[in-house]
Amino acid sequence: MENSLWRFIKRLKTSPATRALCIVLLFIIMLLTLHIPDKVDRQSQGTLILDDDTKKVELKGRDILITYKDVERLKKIRLPESTLLPTKILYNKGEDMEIGIMLTGKEEIYIVAIEPILLFSYPIPLNEELHIIIKKSENFLYLYNDGELVKRYPVATGAKLNHTPEGTFRIIIKSNLEDGKSSEQLGARWIGIEVPFEADKRGPLGDERAPQGLKYGIHGTNEPLSIGSHASGGCIRMYNQDVKELFPLVPLGTKVIIK
């Protein structure tokens, strides 16, 4: 097709500028002709992630395809989004996963366990620094350090949408509540976060406790059955053993992102 167009352009009795424009258009057509099949071919073939003696794992769009060679069985895992980049293969990550794949999406990092098959995700870390991300929609607290997920904890957040503030805050006060003087509702520890007036949607307006780390915090609870639900007055509830574990890991000044 390109040769025919080139002969046609040479026969044209036009100005040099017009012929130059035709040559540019021909060059664009040639590029499109070269690249479109490549894109289609790569989409149909997928991305090979793992190929060993027992299985082959491929990424095709939103699907992870696992072919078990010994029994000629195919397993498909569909992911929530299609813009995914294989990051690395994980081996022997605890009792729940012998082999897994880490994939990075737009906002989430997905862990796909191959043996046994399992899928979970967590937010992409903000940076390499120590920080916390809390997702109200899922009621999970994620602790990060050095750009890696350290641990995920189940939590309870506000009973109403505006109860737990959203934004980027920092820890400004920490208290050990196992002194017999504090309310049992706050459990074993209090990790207070600094919330500016404009982010405090619960009221009352201009509540001085919010920016002092005395109104909103991460704390334990005497209602363990509420963990995993939207049940609090605005704080982030944790199991008492979890908040005890978290307490020494997050110094004053640690960023807390709530969304």
Looking at 22, 131, 230, 235, which residue is catalytic?
A: 235
Spatial separation of the C-alpha atoms in residues 38 and 36, rounded to whole Å: 5
Q: Which of 39, 42, 40, 73 is nearest to 55 (CA)?
A: 73
Cβ atoms of 191 and 247 closer than 8 Å:
yes
| Pure H helices in the chain | 2-11, 16-45, 240-246
Q: Is 131 a catalytic residue?
A: no
Spatial separation of the C-alpha atoms in residues 124 and 19, rounded to whole Å: 51
Looking at 22, 131, 163, 219, which residue is catalytic?
A: 219
Amino acid at 68: Y
Q: 101 in helix, strand or coil?
A: strand
Q: Is 219 a catalytic residue?
A: yes
Spatial separation of the C-alpha atoms in residues 231 and 174, rounded to whole Å: 23
Cα distances from 95 to residues 101, 113, 115, 144, in angstroms, run 16, 11, 10, 22
| Active site (catalytic) residues | 219, 235
